[in-house]
């Protein structure tokens, strides 16, 4: 069993709370309140900025040149591709670049991004990669599951664009590479004692991912 699958098994309750959150169900059947999605989009833009910082930190933390290239590729994907796609997605929901740039991060956004960066600062590249994994790999898993739901990817579901982006081949390849890199690092550095530490990091990052969904969900109930 790969390290990622072992981490998921050890954090099964947290993983279910994250990947099966009501927010994701609302994306699949189109019932998510629009206010919830708009709030999520704004906060996710701010989240991506901090995630880019985490990948920059991964370059610094990389022990090998191949690891540096892997992290640099992820950084470029966020800054040069994903953020531009996100801005276009937001435009379709009436959110301008100015709206995104002037927004203030929610407490959940701050808590999650600060945790990832702190874990990376205190630990090594493997610790940082584990902290990033619930988002990077989790979104691919969530979108794949949602895409299989009847009606999820056809009109009138306005959220199909989000599902298609993360269920599509380009992002699925990103997630697959992240899993493979995690396994390579695990082969080099994981011991039973170390794995227990990594499980704790993974659980907390996953819990904070669920809180991020909850933040958006609550915005739709106001």
* Distances in whole angstroms, Cα of residue 210 to Cα of each of 18, 64, 105, 135: 4, 33, 17, 10
- Mean pLDDT score across all residues of the chain: 96
Instruction: Point out the residues that are catalytic.
Output: 135, 209
pLDDT score for 178? 96
pLDDT band at residue 52 under the 50/70/90 scheme = very high
pLDDT score for 84? 93
Q: What is the pLDDT of residues 11-22, one digit of tens each?
A: 999 999 999 999
Number of neighbours of residue 153 by Cβ within 10 angstroms: 17
% pLDDT > 90, the chain: 99
Nearest Cα to Cα of residue 70 among 169, 163, 183: 183
Q: What is the mean pLDDT of residues 211-216?
A: 97
pLDDT score for 35? 96
DSSP type of residue 104: P
Question: How many whole angstroms separate alpha carbon 33 and alpha carbon 142?
Answer: 19
pLDDT band at residue 88 under the 50/70/90 scheme = very high
Q: What is the pLDDT of residues 124-170, one digit of tens each?
A: 999 999 999 999 999 999 999 999 999 999 999 999 999 999 999 99
pLDDT score for 221? 84
CATH of domain 3-217: 1.20.910.10
pLDDT band at residue 117 under the 50/70/90 scheme = very high
pLDDT at 80 over 90: yes
Do 180 and 73 touch, CB atoms closer than 8 A?
no
pTM of the model: 0.96
pLDDT at 220 over 90: no
pLDDT band at residue 222 under the 50/70/90 scheme = confident
Number of neighbours of residue 177 by Cβ within 10 angstroms: 15
Nearest Cα to Cα of residue 77 among 85, 66, 65: 85
């Amino acid at each position: 069993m790969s390290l990622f699958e072992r981490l998921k098994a050890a954090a099964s309750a947290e993983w279910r709370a994250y990947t099966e959150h009501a927010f994701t169900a609302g994306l699949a059947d189109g019932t998510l309140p629009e206010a919830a999605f708009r709030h999520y989009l704004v906060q996710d833009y701010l989240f991506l900025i901090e995630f880019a910082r985490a990948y920059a930190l991964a370059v610094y933390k990389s022990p090998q040149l191949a690891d540096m290239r892997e992290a640099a590729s992820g950084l470029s994907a966020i800054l040069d591709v994903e953020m531009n796609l996100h801005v276009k997605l937001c435009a379709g929901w009436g959110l301008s670049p100015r709206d995104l740039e002037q927004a203030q991060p929610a407490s959940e956004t701050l808590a999650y991004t600060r945790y990832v960066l702190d874990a990376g600062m205190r630990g090594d590249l493997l610790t940082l990669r584990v902290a990033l994994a619930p988002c990077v790999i989790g979104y691919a898993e969530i979108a794949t599951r949602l895409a299989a739901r009847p009606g999820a990817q056809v009109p009138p579901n306005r959220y199909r664009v989000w599902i298609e982006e993360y269920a599509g081949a380009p992002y699925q390849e990103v997630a697959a590479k992240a899993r493979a890199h995690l396994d390579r690092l695990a082969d080099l550095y994981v011991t039973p004692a170390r794995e227990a530490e990594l499980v704790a990091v993974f659980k907390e990052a996953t819990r904070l991912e669920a809180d991020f969904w909850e933040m958006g969900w609550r915005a739709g109930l106001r």
